[in-house]
Structures are given as structure tokens and as C-alpha cells.
Amino acid sequence: MRPVTIALVVAALMAPAVPADAKGQRLETLSGDALVIDGDTIMLSLTKIRMLGIDTPEDEQTCRRGGIEWACGIEASAALTDLVKDKRVTCDLNGRHSYGRPLGRCRIGATDIGAWMVSQGWAVVDPRFEKTYLPQQAEAKAAKRGLWSGTFQMPCEFRGSC
């Protein structure tokens, strides 16, 4: 073998393993402090990440509870902000959102952030993607948590993107 070829083989063997999804596509993982952009989007390591599988009300979106309008979009963002505050967030990126942002499944330790947002009623299952969080959504709806405590327009309907 030529010296350059040997160097390339050694470098490839020493490179850290990059996780892959079920289709064998390479995933990138980012970790650090998260800045909340809205209820389903965070900034991590200067990268805006749209959380895979969930959809939350827009910040300007309102809902109704007990006949009174309330700022459900702001509350969803606030719930995510409270969850990630002062914690290390890790996101496995996989694909891109229609707006070009990376899609990611994010977690704090063993806590899946998307699952938490849906189970607390601050997010719904995004009908455009996988439906991993349907059990959490059913639980939140039955318990009348978050958005399910009143009436609301699905976030994608509010945006006109369903």
C-alpha cells in the first residue's frame, strides 16, 4: 500500500463513529445549551433545529379555554424554555424541514423533548412526519393538558401548511 492510502485507512478507522438512522443515513449530533425560538424550534450550536414529529402553536396563535382567549403559542414556547433552562440538550439531526432547517430528535439525558412536549399538551403530533408520539397525544388529550384544556386550531391549519 502507498503511504497516502495507509494514512487514509488509519484516519477512517480512528474517526469517531457517526450514528445512522434505520435507513443507514448518517446522523449528526449536536449538544449544548439550547435557545428556544418557539415551541418546536431551538437553536443549538448556532444551528436552528426543528424538532421532529411535533408541531406547536405559533407564538402569535391563541386558543380558547373556558370561553376566554389565551396565548397558547407563547405558553408552549415558555414550557419548552422552562424544560431546557440550564440543561444540556442533545439533538440527533435527521433530514430537513420544508423551510430548510435541520430536523432533529432532541433530549435532555433520557428525556425525549418531543415526547415531553406532546405528553404535557404543548405540542401535537405533526401530521407531515412520523407519528411516534401518538400515545403521548392521546394521554394529554384524555387528561385535558395544555392545548387540550380548551379548543384550538391545529398549528398547521393556523399557518395554512397542512
Residue 162 placed within a domain: no
The number of folded domains in the chain is 1
**How many other CB atoms sit within 10 Å of the CB of residue 28?**
13
* pLDDT mean over 138-161: 94
Q: How confident is the model at residue 9 (pLDDT cuts 50, 70, 90)?
A: very low
Residue 14 placed within a domain: no
- Residue 43 near residue 33, CB atoms below 8 Å: no
Residue 101, pLDDT score: 81
User: Is residue 14 predicted with pLDDT exceeding 50?
Assistant: no
User: Is residue 140 predicted with pLDDT exceeding 60?
Assistant: yes
* pLDDT mean over 2-21: 37
Q: How confident is the model at residue 121 (pLDDT cuts 50, 70, 90)?
A: very high
Residue 3 placed within a domain: no
pTM: 0.81
* pLDDT mean over 115-130: 92
Residue 11 placed within a domain: no
HEC-encoded secondary structure of the chain: CCHHHHHHHHHHHHCCCCCECCCCCECEEEEECEEEEECCEEEECCEEEEECCEECCCCCCCEEECCEEECHHHHHHHHHHHHHCCCCEEEEEEEECCCCCEEEEEEECCEEHHHHHHHCCCCEECCCCCCCCHHHHHHHHHHCCHHHHCECCCHHHHHCCC
Cβ density class 37-68: b for 16+ within 10 Å, e for less: bbbbbbebeeeebbbbbbbbbbeebbbeeeee
Residue 26, pLDDT score: 52
Q: Which of 1-15, 22-36, 129-143 has the lowest mean pLDDT?
A: 1-15
pLDDT tens sequence across 30-84? 999 999 999 999 999 899 999 999 999 999 999 999 999 999 999 999 999 999 9
Residue 50 placed within a domain: yes
User: Is residue 28 predicted with pLDDT exceeding 60?
Assistant: yes
Domain range spanning residue 137?
20-156
Task: List the CATH number of the domain containing 42.
Answer: 2.40.50.90
Residue 161 placed within a domain: no
Residue with cell 401518538: 134
Q: Which three cell numbers stand for residue 8?
A: 487514509
- Residue 148 near residue 125, CB atoms below 8 Å: no
Residue 134 placed within a domain: yes
Residue 31, pLDDT score: 96
Which tops the pLDDT comparison, 25 or 35? 35
pLDDT tens sequence across 104-117? 999 999 999 999 99
